[in-house]
């Protein structure tokens, strides 16, 4: 099987993404991260692989996991890596040709987890993966240059840009109220904060560095 996209499901307590809003394709590789198995199990879907210590799983889910034929990796609760970092290690080891990664249930509810998730996304972006955190009301993209991204933003949605590396060079934006034209964003700068979409589609191009794009206002599948 040649996979085209990786889907990861976490257990954010405040993320109300509905699985029936997500298009599952035969070319998707699906990863359940600990309690992220809950919605998959409830909908009758099985992942390709599971990573976790089951501290976010119910007793019944824990029993169910141990009976499955898909790849189940259960770790002790006391460990040096988070469940997502363990999953990211697996991805980096098994895909030398980077794929887009969509992460659901991994943005809202636990700020500490999310901050570390961003650090892991940076590590993956530096290896060429485009990482997309998707929640009910926000979408956050971590992308390494050179790259061009088109957002289905809808007019008046907020778009913020910031750098995860020391700087991001060669940023060009289209259809934002405050355009950037072949410019640089520094890691410590707030210049990219709270821009506004002027049209349904926004295009953002950058050359060097890891850029974060945060779209506020909806969960449309907005990268083409």
What is the spatial distance between Cα 120 and Cα 10, in angstroms, rounded to a whole number? 14
Residue, of 122 and 218, whose pLDDT is higher: 122
pTM assigned to the model: 0.90
120 SS3 class = helix
Give the per-residue pLDDT at 14.
Answer: 64
Q: Are residues 7 and 81 in the same domain?
A: yes
Give the per-residue pLDDT at 219.
Answer: 44
Q: Are residues 152 and 72 in the same domain?
A: no
Which of 126-135, 146-155, 211-220 comes out lowest in average pLDDT?
211-220
What average pLDDT does the chain have? 89
Is 221 a residue whose pLDDT tops 80?
A: no
What is the spatial distance between Cα 28 and Cα 99, in angstroms, rounded to a whole number? 10
Q: Are residues 131 and 146 in the same domain?
A: no
Q: Are residues 196 and 90 in the same domain?
A: no
Q: Print the domain residue range for 64.
A: 1-136
Give the per-residue pLDDT at 13.
Answer: 66
Q: Are residues 179 and 150 in the same domain?
A: yes
According to DSSP, residue 159 is labeled: E
Percent of the chain with pLDDT over 70: 95
Is 91 a residue whose pLDDT tops 60?
A: yes
Which CATH number is 114's domain given?
A: 3.40.50.10240
Q: Which of 80, 104, 136 is the last residue of a domain?
A: 136
Give the per-residue pLDDT at 7.
Answer: 97
103-137: burial string, b at 16+ Cβ within 10 Å, e else: bbbbbbebeebbeebbebbbbbbeeebbbbbbbbe
Give the per-residue pLDDT at 222.
Answer: 41
Q: Are residues 146 and 224 in the same domain?
A: yes
Is 218 a residue whose pLDDT tops 60?
A: no
Give the pLDDT confidence of 9-20 residue by residue, as tens digits: 998 766 677 787
Give the per-residue pLDDT at 21.
Answer: 81
Q: Which of 136, 156, 183 is the last residue of a domain?
A: 136
Give the pLDDT confidence of 24-82 residue by residue, as tens digits: 999 999 999 988 888 888 888 899 999 988 887 787 887 888 888 898 888 888 888 99
Give the per-residue pLDDT at 8.
Answer: 96
Which of 10-24, 103-117, 140-154, 169-183 comes out lowest in average pLDDT?
10-24
Q: Are residues 153 and 127 in the same domain?
A: no
Give the per-residue pLDDT at 137.
Answer: 82
Provide the token pair at 91.
């991805």
Number of domains observed in the structure of the chain: 2
Q: Which of 98, 119, 136 is the last residue of a domain?
A: 136
Give the pLDDT confidence of 156-198 residue by residue, as tens digits: 899 999 999 999 999 999 999 999 999 999 999 999 999 999 9
What is the spatial distance between Cα 76 and Cα 181, in angstroms, rounded to a whole number? 50
């Amino acid at each position: 099987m040649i996979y085209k996209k990786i889907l990861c499901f976490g257990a954010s307590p405040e993320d109300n993404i509905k699985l029936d809003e997500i298009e599952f394709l035969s070319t998707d590789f699906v990863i359940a991260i600990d309690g992220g198995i809950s919605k998959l199990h409830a909908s009758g879907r099985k992942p390709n692989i599971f990573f976790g210590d089951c501290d976010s799983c119910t007793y019944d889910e824990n029993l169910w996991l141990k009976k499955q034929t898909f790849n189940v990796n259960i770790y002790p609760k006391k460990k040096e890596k988070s469940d997502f970092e363990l999953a990211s290690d697996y991805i980096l080891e098994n895909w030398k040709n980077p794929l887009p990664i969509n992460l659901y249930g991994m943005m809202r509810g636990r700020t500490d987890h999310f901050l570390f998730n961003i650090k892991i996304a940076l590590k993956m972006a530096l290896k060429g993966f485009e990482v997309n955190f998707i929640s009910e009301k926000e979408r956050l993209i971590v992308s390494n240059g050179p790259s061009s991204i088109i957002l289905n933003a809808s007019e008046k949605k907020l778009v913020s840009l910031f750098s995860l590396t020391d700087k991001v060079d060669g940023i060009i934006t289209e259809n934002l109220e405050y355009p950037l034209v072949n410019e640089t964003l520094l890691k410590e700068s707030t210049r990219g904060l709270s821009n506004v979409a002027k049209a349904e589609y926004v295009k953002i191009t950058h050359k060097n560095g890891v850029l974060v794009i945060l779209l506020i206002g909806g969960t449309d599948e907005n990268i083409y």
